Amino acid sequence: IYPYAEGLAGVLMVAGALNWLSVPVAMFIGTVGAVSVFKAVHIDKRELKCACVGGSSNVPLGFISLTENLMMIAMAVWMAAGSIGLIATHAM
């Protein structure tokens, strides 16, 4: 379900449609992902390996995954603020 929910949230956010659906989905996915990556990397002291190249790369996947999840949270906050009129979302 995760990739479909993430894809749905991203497409809806780009389209600017159904914010009532895309904002909570993105916030949930980003928060759960950020907490789990933070716990794995900083509390459990595990190294996350990139499975896409066989796990033999030295990519700092913990930092990249945490950044991705924090950006998803930031997108959700931005879209929520735009939905309630706190910020201008489209300059047309």
Does 68 fall in a domain? Answer: yes
Does 92 fall in a domain? Answer: no
Does 90 fall in a domain? Answer: no
Q: Model pTM?
A: 0.73
Query: Would you tell me the crossing angle of helices 61-83 and 19-38 to the nearest 10 degrees?
Result: 150
Q: Which domain holds residue 43?
A: 2-83
Q: State the pLDDT confidence band at 13, using cuts at 50, 70 and 90.
A: confident
Give the length of the chain: 92
Instruction: Provide the domain count of the chain.
Output: 1
Q: State the pLDDT confidence band at 17, using cuts at 50, 70 and 90.
A: confident
Q: State the pLDDT confidence band at 92, using cuts at 50, 70 and 90.
A: very low
Give 47: exposed, middle or buried? Use CB within 10 Å, 0-12, 13-18, 19+: exposed
pLDDT digits (tens, 9 = 90+) for 36-91: 888 888 888 777 666 665 556 666 677 888 888 899 899 889 888 887 777 765 55
Does 60 fall in a domain? Answer: yes
Does 91 fall in a domain? Answer: no
